[in-house]
Amino acid sequence: MRILDVALAARSYPIYIDSGLLAQGKLWQPHLGTGGTCIVTNETVGPRYLPALRTALPAPPLAVVELPDGERHKTLANVERIFDALMTAGAGRDVTLLALGGGVVGDMAGFAAACYQRGVRFLQFPTTLLAQVDSSVGGKTGVNHPLGKNMIGAFHQPAAVIIDTDTLATLPARELRAGLAEVVKYGLIREPALFDWLEAHAGALLAGDAEALSHAIETSCRIKAAVVAADEREAGERAILNLGHTFGHAIEAATGYRAWLHGEAVATGMLMAADLSHRLGWLTAGHRHRLAQLLQALDLPLSPPVLTLSRWHELMGRDKKVLAGRLRLVLLRRWGHAITTADVEPAALEATLRAFGATAD
C-alpha cells in the first residue's frame, strides 16, 4: 500500500492507495467519528460499491443517500437531500459523512459536511481516476449555480482519502482518459519526469494496467498534496492547479456542460496554454508539439469548438481567477513550471485563440 500525507497542521490527513481498500475497514475505521456514518453516493456507483463499503463499517450507517448521476445534479437542492437524511436520522456533530463516487459526489458530500451543524467529519472514497488524482484531495467542496460552475462552496478538508484502485475496473474508458488529462497537468506544472514517464506509459495507462495507474495516482496525489500544503486556500501558488482551466471552462460553458467532459476540456485548454506560452517565448515549439503528441496518444481532444473571439473573451471573463476585472491565466514559464499571470499581451492571446479556430465577430 502507498500512504501519503497532506500536511496541514491540525487538519493533516492521510491518502491511502491500494487495491481492495473499500473492504479494508480496519485500515480506515480509526478516521471515523463516534456518532455513526452517512454514506453519500450516486445511482451508478452505489449498486456497484455500496455493499463492500457497508460491510466494512463497524455498524450499519445512519443513512445512505443515493443521488442522481451527473454534473447537472451538482446542486444545492441535492445537498439539501443530504441534510434531510442527516436530520431525519438524528445525526449529531459527531457523524461522519462517507463520499463514495467521483468528483461530483465528493464535492457535494464534502460541502454538506462543511455546512451540517457548521462542519462535521468526512472521508473521501473516490471511484473515478479524476477524483483519485485531483478532486478528493485538497478540501475544495461545493456545487454549481445555474449561472456558473462551482460558484457556491467551502474549503473543508477530509479526515482521510481512501483510494481503492479496483474501482477503476468499471470506469468507462472515456472517463479514464479524462482523468489522465489531470495527470498530464501535474507533469506540466511541476514534474517534467512525470511527463516523460507518461510518454513511455500512455499505452499501459489506457489499457488499465494496475501498476501504471497506481504510480500515476501516487505521483499526482504527492504533487497535489505539496501544492495544497503550501497554499491551502489558493492565496497564490495553488492556482497553478488550474492550468488549462480558463480555456477549458470556456469550452465546457460554450457546450452547455454536456458534450465535453471536464478532463477533455482541460486537455485542450492545456494545449492552448502551452501555445500561448510558446508565443510569449517561454516554451519551444518542440515542447508544444510534445504535449500535443501525448494528448493525442491518450486519445484526448486537441481542438476546441469554433467560437468567435468575443465569445471566448466573454466566457473566459467569468473565470474565478479574474481579479479587479483582469483576466489571470496559468501559463508555463518554462517546461515543468507553471505561473499565474495577469500580464498577457492581448495580441498573443488573440493569436492563440485564432490558431485554435476563433473567428472574427
- List contacts with ligand NAD (CB under 6 A): 42, 44-45, 69, 71, 74, 101-105, 107, 127-128, 130-131, 134-135, 138, 140, 150, 167, 170-171, 175, 178, 262
Q: How far apart are CA 292 and CA 307, in angstroms?
A: 21
Q: How far apart are CA 209 and CA 226, in angstroms?
A: 26
Of 61 and 101, which has the nearer Cβ to ligand NAD? 101
Residue showing the smallest CB distance to ligand GLY in the complex: 241
Which uninterrupted H or E stretch holds 143?
A: strand 140-145
Cα three-residue angle 147-149-155, rounded to 5 degrees: 125
Q: Looking at 224, 288, 311, 328, which residue is catalytic?
A: 224
Active site residue 234: yes
Of 241 and 344, which has the nearer Cβ to ligand GLY? 241
Per rule CB under 6 A, is residue 241 in the interface with ligand GLY? Answer: yes
Residue 352, C-alpha cell as written in the block: 492563440
Handedness of CA 84, 87, 91, 93 (dihedral sign): positive
The residue count for binding ligand GLY (CB under 6 A) is 6
Active site residue 249: yes
Q: How far apart are CA 222 and CA 193, in angstroms?
A: 14
Per rule CB under 6 A, is residue 134 in the interface with ligand GLY? Answer: yes
Active site residue 42: no
Least spacing, CB of residue 168 vs ligand NAD, in Å? 6
Residues 138, 248, 301, 304: which binds ligand GLY (CB under 6 A)?
138
Active site residue 140: yes
DSSP per position, 212-252: HHHHHHHHHHHHHHHHHHH-TT-SSGGGGGGTTHHHHHHHH
Active site residue 242: yes
Residues 238, 262, 311, 328: which binds ligand GLY (CB under 6 A)?
238
Of 78 and 141, which has the nearer Cβ to ligand GLY? 141
- Please report, for residues 5, 59, 62, 135, 300, the alpha-carbon distance to residue 36 in angstroms, rounded to integers and kept in the order given: 25, 8, 6, 25, 42
Active site residue 145: no
Active site residue 311: no
Of 181 and 307, which has the nearer Cβ to ligand NAD? 181
Residues at the interface with ligand GLY (CB under 6 A): 134, 138, 140, 238, 241-242
* Residues assigned a catalytic role: 118, 140, 182, 224, 234, 238, 242, 245, 249, 262
